[in-house]
Structure formats: C-alpha cells, structure tokens
Chains A and B, each alone.
Chain A
Amino acid sequence: MRSSLFPLMVIVVVLFVVLNLAAALIWVERRLLALWQDRYGPNRVGPFGLGQIVADSIKLFTKEDWVPPFADKPVFILAPAIVVATALISFAVVPFAPGFVIADLNIGVLFLLAMSSLGVYSVVLAGWSSNNKYSLLGGIRAAAQMMSYEVFMGLSLLGAVMLAGSFRLTDIVEAQRGLWFVVPQFLAFILFLIAGAAETRRLPFDLAEAESELVAGFHSEYSGMKFGMFFVGEYIGVILVSATITLLFFGGWLGPLLPPAVWFAVKTMFFICLFILFRAALPRPRFDQLMSWSWKVMLPLTLVNLLVTGAIVLVRS
C-alpha cells in the first residue's frame, strides 16, 4: 500500500475534496443563513438548489477578467493566487485519518501558523495594488487585524502543544485518546475560535471587507475568477480553521464506531456551521474595539492560560 504513489494519491484526493467543498460551502452558507433568517435560500437550480454551485462556478469562470488601468498589474494578478495557494499548502500537514496525510511534518502546528500568516500578504497586496483608497484602507485594516490576532492565535495553540509534547499534528491527536483537549484547554479553545474567525476575515471580523463602509474593502476592484479566488480562499480558510480546531481540541479523527475520516469530516463540518452561525448572528465590531479587544483582553488571557498550563505540566512531570 505504501508505494511512492500514495502521497500523490492523497494530494489528488485532498485537492479534489477541499476545492469542491470550498465551492459547495457557498451553497451551504447561503442555505444556512436563509434557514436562520426563516427563508429558503437558493433552492431552484437542481435538487435542493445544489446546481447553484455549478451555476455560480460557470458564472465566475466566464465573467470578464478585468484589470483596472490604474492598478499595479503584476501584483494585482498575483494577490488572489497567494491566498488560495497558502490555504491549500496548509492542508499538506492536516491529518484527515491515521496515515492519510500528505506530509506529516514534526512542526505541523508551526507550518499551519506560518502559512496563515503568509495569507495576509494576499490581502495587503490586493488592497495596495488596486490603487483605490477603499481597497487600501481594507488592506491596512486586514494587516493590523491579522497581525494582532495572529499573536494570540499562535499562543492559544501552544497549550495543546504543551499537553501533547509535540508540534506534530498526528501526535497531538493521538495524545487526546483519553480526553479531548477542549476540556483542559477550554479557554484556549474559545480564544482560538475567535482568532480563527478573525484570521479568515469572516463576519463579525470582516473589517477588511466591511461592505457598509469600504465598498468591498481589499477586493473592491476584483472581478471574475480573481474575485472568485478570494472567495474560494476565504472558504478554504474556514475549512482549514475548522479542521485545526478539530485536530487540536476535539480529537481529530478519534471517535467510536464510525471510520476515522468520517469523524474528522463531521467535526469539521460542525465548526464550519458554527462559523456560519457567527455570521448569521453577530454584528461587526468597530475597528478600535477589535484592536483593543485583541491586545487588552485576548492576549493577556492567552498568556495566563499558557502560564497555568505550563505550571500544571511542570508539576505533573
């Protein structure tokens, strides 16, 4: 079974599933938002409106791919590719089931954080190269927001890393065989959930887009498939953050009866739906609230959590 072709097969499967899921999430999100607003959402094209996914894809692919004459052309074209590329590369270290992983790096958690940090470049460069003040404001906001939220996003994961004693995601999952890390690391889980929503620039924290203030923020000038890339990148980010939560706090593929991959998918889907619920229910904070919340509340809390966890690990050993 472990031939040299196995990683390639995993890559194909992961790419296929993730990209299709990202496209399907547009439909899932619209249906769920509709459900929570007592509407139906897209239900006309095909059974349950599933054809909407195909219709949207065709629309995005065939739209005019326009680069504004005042834009910085190479950067403008490169920016949307970065967000999708970094999000997809992050999936290289995500173990979907025991053994079913592209590259089981011994610094998996760090790799995830590094890739999500690189994703910021996409937003900032998009905002800058659009040569439009609203885009630039969106880009600046995204940079400030993601830098400040990344700090405690990384720190909140370290509690789980300490308990498992490894940065390797497979080891972290295996360390949760007795008890999921959500129980000893509940505070970290909450913090990471918030940081994850901010990191993917999802609503409550979509200040980089903020259509009521900044037109569409950093992607105001984007159209066609370049806009589609930002869209897909955002949804891949949501999948990634949900998968990370599942791996680090909810025991990844561990679970009774069902096969491991199914457990992983179920848990990840649950968190994706939770992120959509955030979008349906929560209003967007003001930017200064966002920043002070991050630095004055979240960061100290994370450090306290880290200290306490470290002390407990030290006392136990």
Chain B
Amino acid sequence: MLSLLRSLWEVFRHTFTRRVTVQYPEQKAYLAPRYRGRIVLTRDPDGGERCVACNLCAVACPVACISLQATEDQHGRRYPEFFRINFSRCIFCGYCEEACPTYAIQLTPDTEMGEYKRQNLVYEKADLMIDGPGKYPNYNFWRVAGVAIDGKDKGQAENELEPVDIHSLMP
C-alpha cells in the first residue's frame, strides 16, 4: 500500500522534470560525421570520378541492392556506366564503404529519404554523385594507383618507383 503511494508520488514528481523528446522537424538530433545514412558517390579533389567500377561494393552488399556496369573512358580510366542503389532494400550496414578500395562510395549522416512512391527510392548515378571528396578530402586514387592511364604511365604515380626492367642483369 505504501509502495503504491510512493510510486504515485514519484510519477507525480515527473510533472516538473524536463521532457526528453526531440521535437523532430524543428529540432534535430546530432548525427556524427560517420553516421551510416544515405549513400553517396564522391569525386577526387580534381573533380574526377573516384569509382572504378570494381564491383566490390556490390559483392559486399548483403542485400544485393547495388548494381553497376563497368566501362572505360578514352583515357583508359574505368568508371561505372550506370550505378544504381535500391534504397528500399538498403540496410545501411556500411559494408560497401568498407569494401571500396578508392573511397568512392561513402555513407553520410542524412536519413531524411522518405518517398511516397517506392520506385523513387531507386537512386541512379546522377542522384548518388556529389561534387566533393566526402570524408577523405586529399585522396586521389588515380594519382596513387600504379595503373597506367593517359598522361600517367607506370611508375609515375606518387610514391611509386620506376618499374624494374626484368630483362636487365644489373641490380
């Protein structure tokens, strides 16, 4: 009986405590920079596409929501012909970001993706691509990779030695 009175009093005291609700559309909760939200495709600092269409993200994706087609441009750079993420399937696990060798695919702290039509949740490459480099501002894949493209032969990348001439006997 006393415990009932006590719990009545304890509950009544909450009249004067602060409410914990975040009034969502007006107030927003803080989302950390590494929050796993909407997926974007980023660009190199010089504006080129980072994605090399290696398909690792599509393989890593546990719900198979990423689909893409690789192709090559006139400079010998691989890039995705199309890149499609079905966000109605995506579980925002971030495995694609972990798998990506070029920091191209990144998750952002944005969760406001509500749509009235399901089809609108299928994002094409134009919807995914952003103008900046995302979380890795100085990384430029084509400048550090050993792949030969137009204007950069083998051995000319940053921190890369000239290729060894395996036919020469000199050390």
Which positions in A face B, CB cutoff 8 Å? 34-40, 277-278, 280-282
Our pick among B4, B10, B14 for the contact of A35 (Cβ within 8 Å) is B14
Query: What residues on B are CB-neighbors of A35 within 8 Å?
Result: 14-15, 19
* A277 with B14, Cβ < 8 A, contacts A38-B20, A39-B20, A282-B4 known: no
Tell me, yes or no, whether B30 is within 8 Å of chain A by CB. no
* A40 with B23, Cβ < 8 A, contacts A277-B8, A281-B7, A281-B8 known: yes
Tell me, yes or no, whether B11 is within 8 Å of chain A by CB. yes
Which positions in B face A, CB cutoff 8 Å? 4, 7-8, 10-12, 14-15, 17-21, 23
Our pick among A37, A38, A278 for the contact of B8 (Cβ within 8 Å) is A278
* A38 with B14, Cβ < 8 A, contacts A277-B8, A281-B7 known: yes
Q: Across the interface, do A280 and B11 meet the contact criterion of CB distance under 8 Å?
A: yes
C-alpha gap A277/B21 in the complex (Å): 20
Query: What residues on B are CB-neighbors of A282 within 8 Å?
Result: 4, 7-8
Closest beta carbon of chain A to B132's beta carbon, Å: 36
Q: Across the interface, do B8 and A39 meet the contact criterion of CB distance under 8 Å?
A: no
C-alpha gap A278/B14 in the complex (Å): 14
Our pick among A39, A278, A280, A281 for the contact of B19 (Cβ within 8 Å) is A39
Closest beta carbon of chain A to B99's beta carbon, Å: 41
Our pick among A36, A37, A38, A280 for the contact of B18 (Cβ within 8 Å) is A38
Our pick among B10, B17, B18, B23 for the contact of A281 (Cβ within 8 Å) is B10
Query: What residues on A are CB-neighbors of B15 within 8 Å?
Result: 35-36
Query: What residues on A are CB-neighbors of B8 within 8 Å?
Result: 277-278, 281-282
24 contacts between A and B (CB under 8 A): A35-B15, A35-B19, A36-B11, A36-B12, A36-B14, A36-B15, A37-B14, A38-B14, A38-B18, A38-B21, A39-B19, A39-B20, A39-B21, A40-B19, A40-B21, A40-B23, A281-B7, A281-B8, A281-B10, A281-B11, A281-B12, A282-B4, A282-B7, A282-B8
Closest beta carbon of chain A to B10's beta carbon, Å: 7
- Quick one: closest A residue to B20, CB to CB? A38
The DSSP consensus for interface residues of chain A is: helix
Query: What residues on B are CB-neighbors of A281 within 8 Å?
Result: 4, 7-8, 10-12
- Quick one: closest A residue to B6, CB to CB? A281
Query: What residues on B are CB-neighbors of A277 within 8 Å?
Result: 8, 11-12
C-alpha gap A36/B16 in the complex (Å): 9
C-alpha gap A36/B10 in the complex (Å): 9
Query: What residues on A are CB-neighbors of B11 within 8 Å?
Result: 36, 277, 280-281
- Quick one: closest A residue to B15, CB to CB? A35
- Quick one: closest A residue to B17, CB to CB? A38
Closest beta carbon of chain B to A36's beta carbon, Å: 5
Most buried by A among B20, B21, B23: B21
Apart from A35-B14, A281-B11, A281-B12, what 13 extra A-B contacts exist at CB < 8 Å?
A34-B19, A36-B11, A36-B15, A38-B17, A38-B20, A39-B19, A39-B20, A277-B11, A281-B7, A281-B8, A282-B4, A282-B7, A282-B8
Closest beta carbon of chain A to B6's beta carbon, Å: 9
C-alpha gap A282/B8 in the complex (Å): 7
C-alpha gap A38/B15 in the complex (Å): 8
Query: What residues on A are CB-neighbors of B14 within 8 Å?
Result: 35-38
C-alpha gap A115/B18 in the complex (Å): 43
Query: What residues on A are CB-neighbors of B17 within 8 Å?
Result: 38
Query: What residues on B are CB-neighbors of A36 within 8 Å?
Result: 11-12, 14-15
Closest beta carbon of chain A to B11's beta carbon, Å: 4
C-alpha gap A280/B11 in the complex (Å): 7
Query: What residues on B are CB-neighbors of A40 within 8 Å?
Result: 19, 21, 23
Query: What residues on B are CB-neighbors of A280 within 8 Å?
Result: 11
C-alpha gap A35/B13 in the complex (Å): 10
Closest beta carbon of chain B to A1's beta carbon, Å: 42
Query: What residues on B are CB-neighbors of A37 within 8 Å?
Result: 14
Q: What 6 A-B pairs come out closest when comparing CB atoms?
A: A281-B11, A281-B8, A36-B14, A40-B21, A281-B7, A38-B20
C-alpha gap A36/B12 in the complex (Å): 7
Query: What residues on A are CB-neighbors of B19 within 8 Å?
Result: 34-35, 38-40
C-alpha gap A188/B14 in the complex (Å): 29
Query: What residues on A are CB-neighbors of B21 within 8 Å?
Result: 38-40
C-alpha gap A38/B22 in the complex (Å): 11
Closest beta carbon of chain B to A139's beta carbon, Å: 28
